[in-house]
Structure 1
Amino acid sequence: MSRESLTWLNQNTLIGFTAKRGTAWHYRASHQGDEPNHYPGPIPVADVKRRLFHWQPVEGTVETSYLTEDGVTRLTDPTRKTIIRPDTGQILGIFKQGFQIHEYNRWLVDHIETILDDDLAIGSAGLLRGGALAWVQVELPDTCTTPEGVAFRPFLSAATSLDGSLSSTYQTGAQLIVCDNTLSAALASANARRVKIRHSRRSLARIVDVRDALGIIHQAADNFAAEVQQLCRVEVSNSHWRAFLDQHVPLPQERERGRTLAETKRLALTRLWTQDERVAPWHGTAFGVLQTVNTYTHHGQIVRGAVRAERNMHRMITGDVDDLDLTTVQTLEKVLNRSILGKAA
């Protein structure tokens, strides 16, 4: 994980629909440069291409040199190649010759553009790691609100990389308005899909899989609303919460730094569970537990090697949020000794 600066995030990420959801965590007017990165409404496709994806990655050779008693020896490896960002000269990755570049305009913008209409628009897009990682996120323009009072925006994100860290990935999720958290929209659905396409020569033949996947964003809203309803119906007592903590953040027996860190984390989680307005409406329910853990991870957990905004963006586009929420639900199911989320047909 790179150490993206606030200046980078303000100039290399675009945030839409701010009139409805407010500014992003990283927003700093003084770091915006010549053009603000926040849009009151949807982000125009042309702006994504112009501001973020105006450059084309190129391939280079792999050469090296080393010093011996006979002088300098130079070698070239014909089995490998570099991927270079030409406008900055940065080497983004070194790969075997079979690595297939998934160029951002084609794999992110062009595929996403096929589903944009009056009901779907670009809500965010950006570059991380000097341009080695990129995403485009499509959202419904209007906020959805469940009967339980959970306001959210369903999305479909398309992401890929030029450093080999991420296959081209298309998946759904939900952004909560109350805290700007990203939650999974796939926990309760047997049909929810995450499409991943590797950077191989055969990858171009799988474009049809992408086109099929892009039709699921409307279903994501229904999936998430169903999750919320089921989770809010499950009661979680204070004793259940303490038992959940024992499973989620066990206390080491040794009185050393590890125990102190665990105790600090448990106190922070309990404070969210009992006092925080981002959790309070659903206190005493399984959704409240999910919201507590998710909020702590997004806004309270110690972040090393990156700024918090970058870590949260990375979690969203790689699908780590699905793993986070699923682990939370599975731990709570063990404590309650019952299934929480039935699988939708």
Structure 2
Amino acid sequence: MTNTLPAADRNAAFTAERRGQLDAAADRRADIEARIAAGTLVPVGNGRYQVNDPNSWDNGEVWTLTDGEVLPEHGLDTTTGTVALYSRVPGWHELGTVIPEGTSDIDTVLDAGGIGFEVIRRPVLYQNILAGPVRVLPDQFVTVRQDTEAGLGVVGARYEVFQNRDIFEFLQDLVADHEVIWESAGALRDGRRVFVCLRLPETVTIDAAGISDQIVPYIAAINSHDGSSLAQVVVTPWRIECGNTERFAVRDAFTRWGVRHTRNARDRVAEARRTLGLSVKYFDAFAAEEETLARTELTIAEFHQVLQQLWPAPEEGAPKRTVTHHTNRRDTLAALWTANSDRLGCTAYAAERAITEYTDWKQPIRPTGSLRGRDLAARATAVLEGSNDDIKSRAHRQLLTMTRR
């Protein structure tokens, strides 16, 4: 589900919905049973349920049964006995340390956010037989969290740890402001993932055909300590305050940049700044193009012409499986066009949103390796690494040509 609410409303609406979920305890059990019967809440075992409701913020998320209530999981690290979150604005869960005026002091945020720990590499040891000699596995290391001594993941010999403090300093260099006020910072999955978020002064406004989307951009840096993903920086309308909003920040990012955990990762600020387009000119151009798309009427036939350019129909005699896949993709995109055009009008802007939503979250995937069987994680990784950026760029350019008719 792609949300295009104004940024201020987006974060406020999410917080309001979350608090309402926590406060509305009356008839909770009946509501749970009704949702299970309706198929919008699917039991997955061990008192956990997956949300199956495209109209909910929580679609695809897993909730946990606690004291007779099914509650959303914030996903924040609690392994030290406190919740690892610093925020300038209270989150929906009302957890963590809130400093309303914010702070530019990195040490304060590291402490308040519960991410002041460092991570080191240690050799992987093994035994061939019980009580046999301990051997070292060549070129493999365990990343270890220093404060809890917890093993976070297994990485290769070229992997360099990107310390939590490094994230802050990288973002300071990225925006060329060492007095930046930090919006939020914290840890997820027992410290395996860490995030830092700051707010940009520019506002992206898409004000055409009655849409009036006003998007306040944030820069979020998301780093993993378990070797599962690149170190990422995204420009996004979401302030991260839990596992859900981390996913939203990645899903709805305007631009993204990633770097592998290698020796020169922290020296690539200029590259990141170019890729992310961190300038007023970039945001002005982005808003102007999106406004142009929003002012351009588009028929369903023209939408299908764009799809034909992106995904040509199979040739005659193509395997049945190929034809079926093409038909399913066309039908899914048609449904996404309907949903977006109902809200945004029959415009090129609605078409772009439909295509983006499909490439990021609807098209079939076949995860391999460590992501096998983890579709949501595989989709998030594909979005982070920009796997579909080429087709989204082609769609954007194709739709812009239609604005000059």
TM-score range, shorter chain: 0.5 to 0.7
1:271–1:123 CA distance, 2 compared to 1 (3 A) = farther
TM-score of the aligned structures, taking structure 2 as reference length: 0.56
- What is the deviation of 1:228? 0.6
Alignment of 1:86-105 (within 5 A): 86=146, 87=148, 89-96=150-157, 98-105=158-165
Distance 2:202 2:84 in 1: 23
- Counterpart selection for 2:330 from 245, 258, 266: 266
1:12 aligned residue: none
Is the 8 Å Cα contact of residues 231 and 341 (structure 1) preserved in structure 2? yes
Distance 1:88 1:340 in 2: 58
2:219 aligned residue: 156
Distance 1:165 1:341 in 2: 41
Alignment of 1:209-248 (within 5 A): 209=270, 216=278, 218-248=280-310
Alignment of 1:12-51 (within 5 A): 20-23=11-14, 25-26=57-58, 31-32=73-74, 39-40=89-90, 46=108, 49-51=111-113
Distance 1:251 1:88 in 2: 55
Alignment of 1:248-259 (within 5 A): 248=310, 253-256=318-321, 259=324
Distance 2:269 2:321 in 1: 54
Find out whether 1:131 has 2:191 as its counterpart. yes
Distance 2:134 2:120 in 1: 23
* 1:123-151 CA-partner distances (Å, limit 9, x unpaired): 55554565334332323479643222233
1:295–1:81 CA distance, 2 compared to 1 (3 A) = closer
Alignment of 1:190-339 (within 5 A): 194=257, 198-203=260-265, 206=267, 209=270, 216=278, 218-248=280-310, 253-256=318-321, 259=324, 262-274=326-338, 276=339, 278-296=340-358, 305-306=373-374, 318-320=384-386, 324=388, 326-331=390-395, 333=397, 339=401
Is the 8 Å Cα contact of residues 294 and 348 (structure 2) preserved in structure 1? yes
Is the 8 Å Cα contact of residues 273 and 292 (structure 1) preserved in structure 2? yes
Find out whether 1:112 has 2:112 as its counterpart. no
- What is the deviation of 1:225? 0.7
* 1:26-58 CA-partner distances (Å, limit 9, x unpaired): 497554598697845787674665345143212
Task: Tell me the C-alpha RMSD between the 2 structures.
Answer: 4.8
TM-score of the aligned structures, taking structure 1 as reference length: 0.63
1:298–1:21 CA distance, 2 compared to 1 (3 A) = farther
Letter in 2 for 1:81: F
* Structure 2 counterpart SS, 1:145: strand
Letter in 1 for 2:330: R
1:182–1:19 CA distance, 2 compared to 1 (3 A) = closer
1:76 aligned residue: 136
Distance 1:314 1:43 in 2: 31
Distance 2:375 2:188 in 1: 12
- What is the deviation of 1:102? 0.9
Is the 8 Å Cα contact of residues 249 and 266 (structure 1) preserved in structure 2? no
Is the 8 Å Cα contact of residues 184 and 325 (structure 1) preserved in structure 2? no
Find out whether 1:66 has 2:102 as its counterpart. no
Is the 8 Å Cα contact of residues 341 and 347 (structure 2) preserved in structure 1? no
Letter in 2 for 1:89: A
- What is the deviation of 1:295? 3.2
1:31–1:18 CA distance, 2 compared to 1 (3 A) = farther
- Counterpart selection for 1:184 from 244, 254, 272: 254
Is the 8 Å Cα contact of residues 156 and 217 (structure 1) preserved in structure 2? no
Distance 2:184 2:382 in 1: 14
1:17–1:228 CA distance, 2 compared to 1 (3 A) = closer
Distance 2:397 2:202 in 1: 33
- What is the deviation of 1:235? 4.7
Is the 8 Å Cα contact of residues 140 and 155 (structure 1) preserved in structure 2? yes
Structure ranking higher on relative contact order (CA contacts 8 Å, 6+ apart): 1
* Structure 2 counterpart SS, 1:72: coil
Give the total of aligned pairs: 302
Distance 1:198 1:231 in 2: 35
Is the 8 Å Cα contact of residues 122 and 137 (structure 1) preserved in structure 2? yes
